[in-house]
Amino acid sequence: MSKVRIGMVVDYAGGFAETAELMRAYEQAGLELAAVPEAYSFDGVSQLGYLAAKTERLELMSAIFQVYSRTPTLIAMTAAGLDFVSAGRFTLGLGASGPQVVEGFHGVKYDAPLGRTREVVEICRQVWRREPVEHRGRHYTVPLTKQDGGTGLGKPLKIINHPVRSDIPVSIAALGEKNVALVAEIAQGWQPLFFHPRKAQLAWGDALAEGFARRDPALGELDIQLQMNFLIGEPGPEEIQKVRDQLALYIGGMGARDKNFYNQLACRYGYEAEAKEIQDLYLSGNKAQAAAAVPADLVEAVTLMGEEDSVRRQLREFAEAGVRTLLLNPVAADPADRVDHVRRLAGINAGLTTAGVS
């Protein structure tokens, strides 16, 4: 079985300093990567820099930087800076987010997410190669000329410092079929939310094949990176309910009725009737009933919670579906238990890899 990398999402909702101090213990327990989200709370860059100073081997990743909230060259500079302070341990996680955050919080028009994502990646890679940045796309023009409304005084510039790496890995969050095809074409990593290993081919098989047909072999294998709640031991009603509530929120209420990517994903998984029921209930204010309508199979598939035999089986399923990185959200109440669960998971993972289980 191919090795699965064990990572973790670092929660930005509070207690960050305590979590950062725990990173050393997690690192010793077998954690290999820490991912920092950035929605509309504190920025992710400062936290990633702090973690770079607190750790030695742990890889770091943004999960995610929105393509709208920074210019493409600033995204490239930020990634190069984080790669510099971490001595080459950073992966740039990007995503389009959605209109609620981009327009509602940043005041920037949410348009052309596919085209903008492609051009941002193209410009970032120019910067990291230390090429004078020249880009004339549909969404970004660097440098601006008089023809583009600029002063005409700008000239192509290259980044002053030499980046640690000329090709920093790029990971993109995507769910829609066209978005996933783009990821398979241009990115090293893919961050899908609510990935069902037994139904992934049904939902994304054609899109992945389309993107892989255009993929540069130099990019290597696509690293599928999954965020999921994690617990070793039988989950209690409270842990299960949190997953149900989250799935109900996303499938039922994340976007307008006809523009909810998560509802559409549930339909592609084959849960058309359930997705409609969840959305109808949620949008009518019956959130508890919407959560109760979430299929138990989906709850189990998108989490890593259970006794060791169950976790071992799920790890095998994820690996066979192409997953190469887990981004865990440990839900055990005690920090010592969370560290111990990571240690036990690392042991299970090593055992499967050594045994060559397929």
- Are 202 and 270 a contacting pair, CB within 8 Å? yes
Q: 302, 322, 339 — which closes off a domain?
A: 302
Are 226 and 260 in a shared domain? no
**Burial of 143 from C-beta contacts in 10 A (0-12 / 13-18 / 19+):** middle
Helices 44-54 & 72-85 angle (0-180, nearest 10): 20
Q: Which amino acid is at 38?
A: E
Give the pLDDT of residue 357: 46
Say how far apart CA 252 and CA 263 lie, in whole Å: 7
Give the pLDDT of residue 13: 57
> At 344, which CATH number?
3.20.20.30
Q: What is the pLDDT of residues 271-293, one digit of tens each?
A: 999 999 999 999 999 999 999 99
Are 298 and 314 in a shared domain? no
**Burial of 232 from C-beta contacts in 10 A (0-12 / 13-18 / 19+):** buried
Are 317 and 189 in a shared domain? yes
Are 188 and 247 in a shared domain? no
What CA–CA distances, in Å, run from 25 to 22, 66, 90, 254? 5, 30, 20, 36
Q: How many domains does the chain contain in total?
A: 2
Are 347 and 266 in a shared domain? no
Give the pLDDT of residue 190: 98
Are 108 and 245 in a shared domain? no
Are 293 and 188 in a shared domain? no
Give the pLDDT of residue 356: 55
- The low-confidence residues of the chain, meaning pLDDT below 50, are 357-358
Range of the domain at 267: 236-302
Say how far apart CA 42 and CA 17 lie, in whole Å: 13
Give just the sign of the alpha carbon dihedral 113, 116, 122, 125: negative
